[in-house]
Chain A
Amino acid sequence: MVSLGSERATLPEMLVDDGYLIERLRTGDDTAFEELVDHHAAPLLAVTRRILRDEEEARDAVQETFVAAFRGISAFQSESRVSTWLHRIAVNCALMKLRIREQDVDALLPHFQADGRQDPSSVGWSESAEEILQREQSCALVRQCIDQLPEPYRVVLVLRDIEQLPADVVAEKLQITRDNLKVKLHRARQALRTLLDPHMRGTMLAA
């Protein structure tokens, strides 16, 4: 069993160790697999939770990720980072489980007067994103707002703006055109902005 509370390698150490870890995995070293799981399970679970919003399915996706990694270790390109490789597999495993229900987003889009002016007018937020992200309470609120997005828009925003997958990859995985993806992403960002707006205008989240 791995030591869950063990000291974690810093990022540069992990990069240096990636090659050695992969070599040991390829030779069937069980402790290497335990190290892989110990280092990467938690961040991968965050990714699959974000996509699936279902704890049990998110855990299943992580489990399948490591099994797929174990089976596919010979295909691993040594110039890649292990974390990037696992991230790609985890996104795939999560998407395999995802069932997207069509939901409307119109109520969260901006409104306009007949002459094309915004109605109501927009006002700026009281703090920069950098300042807001300093507080865990605010980060949690942002994540809650993302979870409130209608499903097809939430998924597109997570895959493009958060997981930062290329547009053609996301379009293919969601089986939509690139133009449709672009429209959905823009609407998703606008809808998230609408959800965040009442919280970010004032100082209610300020420490």
Chain B
Amino acid sequence: MTCIELIAFLDAYVDDELDANTRGEFDLHLLVCPSCRAYRDTYKETIDLARGAAEREEDLAHDAPPELIEAVLTSKSRHSKS
């Protein structure tokens, strides 16, 4: 197995979609290739960072803009009457 093959199917490896034999080949390559180990680790970290940064954004999003709240309530009143 080469780096190009491992990286082409890294999503299946990370998402645990490979059969046991193929996974074994991946593991063998990872054992001898520090570059692919680093790539696998930073690929997984990328997914965690994307999700984590968005969660932090929502945690900090306490107040919606007042004009949006007004617009929603006005819009609801309009729909209540129609």
Contact = CB atoms under 8 A, between A and B. Distances in A.
Interface in B1-46: 2-5, 7, 10-11, 34-39, 41-43, 45-46
Contacts of B75: 63, 66-67
A146 B50 contact: yes
Q: How large is the interface on B (under 10, 10 to 19, 20 to 34, 35 or more residues)?
A: 35 or more
A62 B68 contact: yes
Nearest to A197: B42
Given A110-B7, A115-B2, 20 more contacts: A1-B70, A4-B66, A45-B61, A50-B54, A59-B68, A62-B64, A62-B68, A62-B72, A71-B79, A116-B2, A116-B3, A116-B4, A124-B42, A125-B42, A128-B45, A130-B52, A133-B49, A136-B56, A162-B54, A182-B11
Contacts of B35: 117-118, 121-123
A189 B66 CA distance: 36
27 contacts: A4-B64, A4-B69, A34-B73, A37-B64, A41-B72, A42-B61, A43-B58, A43-B61, A46-B58, A50-B54, A59-B65, A63-B75, A115-B2, A129-B48, A133-B52, A133-B56, A142-B50, A142-B52, A143-B57, A146-B53, A161-B47, A189-B11, A189-B47, A192-B50, A193-B43, A196-B46, A197-B42
A162 B56 CA distance: 12
Contacts of B37: 124
A38 B68 CA distance: 10
A47 B55 CA distance: 10
B43 to A, nearest CB: 6
B42 A143 contact: no
A193 B42 contact: yes
Contacts of A37: 64, 69, 72-73
A157 B80 CA distance: 37
A192 B44 CA distance: 11
A185 interface: yes
Contacts of B52: 129-130, 133, 139, 142
